[in-house]
Homo-oligomer: A and B are copies of this chain.
Amino acid sequence: MHKSRLGGLIIDCKTDDLDSAGLFWSRALGLDIKPVTHPVDNQYVSLNTPGNDIHIEVQQVEHDSRVHIDIETDDIEAEALRLEKLGARRVKKVKSWLVMEAPTGQRFCLVGPQRSEFESQANHWD
């Protein structure tokens, strides 16, 4: 048995100026910027979402700007198999996460648990 649910929203920005991108989305959504939590790479600005809300990050990318969904799970392999049965396909592994593509065309990522209350509120899959 494993668990998953919507974990977050990643705002992918094709930009040379991540600080300005992060500032725009921080102000647009009225969410403060978190202190740096990825000291190893500097391609993210994380926004501070209240309580159990989904996490939101602004990411500097090379591909065209878009928004993508993260699904949080305690077992990425089991979740990938579940989603493949629903028609999704694996695209690639990047660091600790797995990029997948929905049958409807959007790319999304499987990541480890991100939000508070994951244990009690995520969906349970047999």
A residues whose Cβ falls under 8 Å from a Cβ of B: 4-6, 9, 11, 13-15, 20-21, 24-25, 27-31, 50, 53-54, 56, 58, 64-69, 71, 83, 86-88, 102-106, 121-123, 125
Contact A11 B104 (CB under 8 A): yes
The count of identical subunits is 2
Query: Are A86 and B24 in touch, CB under 8 angstroms?
Result: yes
Interface centre among A30, A50, A83 (most CB of B within 10 A): A30
Give the CA-CA distance A48 to B58 in the complex, in Å. 26
Contacts of A54 in B (CB 8 A): 53-54
Shortest distance from the beta carbon of A99 to any chain B beta carbon, whole Å? 14
Are A28 and B88 also in contact (CB < 8 A) when A9-B69, A69-B9, A69-B67 are? yes
